[in-house]
Structure 1
Amino acid sequence: MTDRAGSPAQESDLIDVRELVDAYYQRVPDVADPAQKVAFGTSGHRGSSLDTAFNETHIAAITQAIVDYRTEQGIDGPLFIGSDTHGLSRPAEKTALEVLAANGVHALADAEDGWVPTPALSRAIIRYNRALGSNGTTITPGLADGIVITPSHNPPRDGGFKYNPPHGGPADSDATGWIAGRANEHIANGLRDVKRTEPSSVDGYDFRGEYVADLANIIDLAAIRNAGLHIGADPLGGASVDYWALIAEKHGLDLTVVNPVVDPTWRFMTLDWDGKIRMDPSSPSAMASVLQHRADYAVLTGNDADADRHGIVTPDAGLMNPNHYLAVAIQYLYAHRPDWRADAAIGKTLVSSSMIDRVAASLGRRLWEVPVGFKWFVPGLVDGSVGFGGEESAGASFLEFDGSAWTTDKDGILLALLASEITAVTGKSPSQLYAELTDEFGAPAYARVDAAASKEQKARLGKLSGADITADTLAGDPITARLSEAPGNGAAIGGVKVQTEHAWFAARPSGTEDVYKIYAESFRGPEHLAEVQAEAKTIVDRALGA
């Protein structure tokens, strides 16, 4: 961690927005260079125009590829499109709208030319298709889909471009692989088959109004209002800024937008752990300026640039660890949502805290453990068989009061409001409730560290089988499971997870650096966690032949 972590950004830390946008239009990628190709990760295509990794050519090609994919799949309804506050988002939206117009796709953009959070776009798709009598999983005439333009919490120099099919959530690997491959073909062909024209007009959709009005279907806003809670919400310069203002007005909440400033340089941020500006509401360093107000509000929250992540700050504990809050949210929701299916499972990624496992067992609910990536929760949220799906990286969503799907993408606004509902209904902060969980189940120590690995070793790690792990013990305890597939759905985890009665670790290759990530947790405390981490590296290196 840099010694500047948590300190205010300085002029030298800021991007030159004009240079960034000029590079978007002027630089042309070479798809012979892997770093300049279209590549979809778990959250779409991301990169910077300054690295020739997110440029006009990329966006025109990706949008045409999405049009081609829609034709291939028989998707012929409107396409919802929105962007966040990153400097590259609006230029990319303009390019995408030109390609959509030339291809005759009916695009619906924000009616007020405002920013659109990821959950608001997912919600719009679900509402539209529900009105057609469809949940979007079976392609029928007239279904809508969407594009959201955001690199999420990434630094200001980055851009991002995501496709959400008719179910409303992130596209699966088959779809993104097809789209990326077609987009790279379009680039290699000099965009010869990419259609483009200036749209004569773009129809508007009230993303903000519809989303805010619908919140009464999923959050007990009356309880929050009647409790008189003083709430603070910091959008961190992101797309949720005007949403929070309308939530306060529409639902009569004592809610203050702590910092309503939008600036594509994010000069008001404090630096993250590595000295970069990064709008991560789960990072104590990025949230340092927000934490100064912790005593001023009963509940204080933060969101990232597209509002798919949440950060929860309480007066008694400060910024909650995302895993801690997810455990509290799960315990509360399954006790206060009586109309959910009796068999609605609890969804978690396999690198989330096993405190969630213990909470699930105490509730008598099935635990549905899946690989990293919110896309895995989509089918369960759509049919109501999963009541809550959450990731260790502060992303989650859950069902409406009646058990129907709310969003099939992460919703940071929703999880932030839930913290206020929990406080209003229980009379306790989420951090106080987590302390009660530790009294009952123990206090786990959790951390993620990186270990060096070559590209060849990372490739081997991604294909390891649990059978390749030969160790019998981990930090003094017998190993009870060696996993290379997620227990919930049998999908490959792209690495391994090793468990004992009291601890576990998971190892996965990084997609951007020559390292692999070791997630680990111990219910025997920090010293035992350190033993687990050290042995995890030895075990994995042995399996990789390092």
Structure 2
Amino acid sequence: MTDRAGTPAQESDLIDVHALVEAYYQKVPDVNDPAQKVVFGTSGHRGSSFDAAFNETHIAAITQAIVEYRADQGIGGPLFVGRDTHGLSRPAETTALEVLEANGVHAVTDQYDDYVPTPALSRAIISHNRALKPGGRQADGIVITPSHNPPRDGGFKYNPPHGGPADSAATSWIADRANELIADGNRGVRRSEPSAVDSYDFRGQYVGDLASILNLDAVKSAGLHLAADPLGGASVHYWQLIAERYGLDLTVVNPLVDPRWPFMTLDWDEKIRMDPSSPSVMASTVAKLDDFRLITGNDADADRHGIVTPDGGLMNPNHYLAVAIQYLYTHRDGWRDDAAIGKTMVSSSMIDRVAGSLGRRLWEVPVGFKWFVPGLIDGSVGFGGEESAGASFLQLDGQVWTTDKDGILLALLASEILAVTGKSPSQLYSELTAEFGAPSYARVDAAASKEQKARLGRLSGDDITATTLAGEPIIGKLSAAPGNGAALGGVKVESEHAWFAARPSGTEDVYKIYAESFVGPEHLAEVQAEAKTIVDAALGD
């Protein structure tokens, strides 16, 4: 934590949006520089035009690669295109539409030229494909967003016909083809001025469909005085329509949109970031708490949520996931009796205890929401959640809602929980800790070279030679997820009352250590210290 964390942004913190956009068009990447190549992480390609990492050249090549990929896969329906409020999102959308037009792809943008949250685009794809008649052509989509990243960044993500994040096979193909095109001077990219592009009412369709997944009548009847902070992101106009459509006493506490984000408080590292799970980012939102029964926040593309309650302040994302799971699996009669609880391997083991008390199967997968997609589609997974404040769940009738994270949905669920139970999510979490114990959870980073990160990504549980963890016998050494057998891309070590997981960072020369202890904060510190020793020994350092 730095001195200015949680304090209002100053003029010196703000980007020059004109210069950012100018760099988007003027800088040409060098594909021989790894930092300037197209690289798809778990949430698409991200970077800044200032660094020649997110420029017109990149977006034209990526879009052309997507065109070729969808043709190879036989995807011939509309391609939904949505953007968030970042300064690079509009230029990237313009470039993408030019490439799609030249290639004869049926692109569909927002009817009101509005911002499009990630969950609204996922919902549009699912709704279109669900209504297809035999022989109909499936839709897919592009989301232009770097999510909660700083204002200088841009992001570009492809969602195939299932509506969720593309898997690694698809993103690797798209990234490789895009880099080939860039290396050849983008001579294989077709572009033309877009003619009239078809439109879709993302906002109206998404908001209207909320009645199929939430009990908003209960929220209205309870008369709860609520607030939502879009944090300058794509959900800004959605919240007002939600309040009007469902008769909720809900105030949008910050309806401003400015690609510099001058109204934000700084994150832990003194950067402007729209992470609604960060206490520093949410400091100004939390300050409004006295006026409302519940305040929620979303990031720039609204796939993440932050929950603020009068009795608990900003909830830890893991705490809220546990409460949401406990509530949903006792208030959703339309779900399959065998619908599993999905969690990532670095989420709190409080969820394991809740799953056990509910008699539900726990489906534990590697980091990345894409792993939940098949289960959400067929209803075998009722809820899928990540430790980084991202989740989605099934409709009241057990059908799929979105296959991407939905921060608006999880924020509204907190209101339903309060209305139906009469207790805030933080009060309900206190009841869980009284029953199962109070875990201490944290993530820290440890320095690692690129070679060390590569070795960590290939580690097997058998490479861990330690037999104890912070005084307890080790009972599990995992390098693959129990739920689906997919590689963790690191290792997870478990004892009876604690665990840690170590994974290489995709963007920095560090590896991430996630750890949790049900013994207490001091024991957690021991777990973290021993985790680094255990991992370094396995890496041969």
Q: Same fold (TM over 0.5)?
A: yes
CA offset at residue 295 of structure 1? 1.8
- Supply the distance in 2 between the matched residues of 1:130 and 1:421 (Cα, whole angstroms): 27
2:124 alignment partner in structure 1: 124
Q: State the TM-score, normalizing by the size of structure 2.
A: 0.99
- Amino acid paired to 1:126: I
1:487 aligns with one of 441, 464, 482: 482
1:407 alignment partner in structure 2: 402
2:451 alignment partner in structure 1: 456
CA offset at residue 133 of structure 1? 5.5
- Asked if 1:339 is matched to 2:367, the reply is no
8 A Cα contact 1:330 1:346, kept in partner: yes
- Supply the distance in 1 between the matched residues of 2:136 and 2:297 (Cα, whole angstroms): 39
- Supply the distance in 2 between the matched residues of 1:425 and 1:63 (Cα, whole angstroms): 45
8 A Cα contact 1:21 1:88, kept in partner: yes
2:434 aligns with one of 430, 439, 455: 439
RMSD: 0.7
1:6 alignment partner in structure 2: 6
- Asked if 1:257 is matched to 2:252, the reply is yes
8 A Cα contact 1:109 1:202, kept in partner: yes
- Amino acid paired to 2:244: E
Please give the secondary structure, in 2, of the residue aligned with 1:275.
coil
- Asked if 1:392 is matched to 2:387, the reply is yes
CA offset at residue 47 of structure 1? 0.1
2:366 alignment partner in structure 1: 371
- Asked if 1:305 is matched to 2:304, the reply is no
2:184 aligns with one of 189, 208, 221: 189
- Supply the distance in 2 between the matched residues of 1:535 and 1:499 (Cα, whole angstroms): 12
1:21 alignment partner in structure 2: 21
1:32 alignment partner in structure 2: 32
- Supply the distance in 2 between the matched residues of 1:440 and 1:476 (Cα, whole angstroms): 24
2:354 alignment partner in structure 1: 359
Please give the secondary structure, in 1, of the residue aligned with 2:355.
helix
CA offset at residue 296 of structure 1? 1.3
- Supply the distance in 1 between the matched residues of 2:175 and 2:290 (Cα, whole angstroms): 47
2:160 aligns with one of 143, 165, 169: 165
- Supply the distance in 1 between the matched residues of 2:164 and 2:179 (Cα, whole angstroms): 24
Displacement over 6 Å in runs of 4+: none
2:173 alignment partner in structure 1: 178
8 A Cα contact 1:74 1:141, kept in partner: no
- Asked if 1:428 is matched to 2:423, the reply is yes
2:52 alignment partner in structure 1: 52
2:43 alignment partner in structure 1: 43
- Supply the distance in 1 between the matched residues of 2:428 and 2:274 (Cα, whole angstroms): 27
CA offset at residue 157 of structure 1? 0.1
- Asked if 1:202 is matched to 2:197, the reply is yes
CA offset at residue 26 of structure 1? 0.3
What pairs with 1:266-277 in structure 2 (closer than 5 Å)? 266-277=261-272
1:283 aligns with one of 270, 278, 287: 278
- Supply the distance in 2 between the matched residues of 1:510 and 1:103 (Cα, whole angstroms): 36
- Supply the distance in 2 between the matched residues of 1:451 and 1:313 (Cα, whole angstroms): 31
1:543 alignment partner in structure 2: 538
Q: Cα deviation per residue 1:87-107 (whole Å; 9 max; x = unaligned)? A: 000000000000000000001
- Supply the distance in 2 between the matched residues of 1:512 and 1:70 (Cα, whole angstroms): 28
CA offset at residue 81 of structure 1? 0.3
- Amino acid paired to 2:400: A
2:320 aligns with one of 325, 329, 332: 325
- Amino acid paired to 2:506: G
Please give the secondary structure, in 1, of the residue aligned with 2:329.
helix
What pairs with 1:74-223 in structure 2 (closer than 5 Å)? 74-132=74-132, 141-223=136-218
- Supply the distance in 1 between the matched residues of 2:166 and 2:503 (Cα, whole angstroms): 21
- Supply the distance in 2 between the matched residues of 1:160 and 1:71 (Cα, whole angstroms): 23
- Amino acid paired to 1:102: A
Gapped regions of structure 1 (runs ≥ 5): 135-139
- Amino acid paired to 1:69: Y
Gapped regions of structure 2 (runs ≥ 5): none
1:137 alignment partner in structure 2: none
- Amino acid paired to 1:295: D
Please give the secondary structure, in 1, of the residue aligned with 2:442.
strand
- Amino acid paired to 2:33: D
2:65 alignment partner in structure 1: 65
CA offset at residue 141 of structure 1? 4.6
- Amino acid paired to 1:393: S
2:412 alignment partner in structure 1: 417
Q: Cα deviation per residue 1:501-522 (whole Å; 9 max; x = unaligned)? A: 1000000011111111000000
Please give the secondary structure, in 1, of the residue aligned with 2:19.
helix
- Supply the distance in 2 between the matched residues of 1:190 and 1:215 (Cα, whole angstroms): 46
Please give the secondary structure, in 2, of the residue aligned with 1:382.
helix
Q: State the TM-score, normalizing by the size of structure 1.
A: 0.99
CA offset at residue 200 of structure 1? 1.4
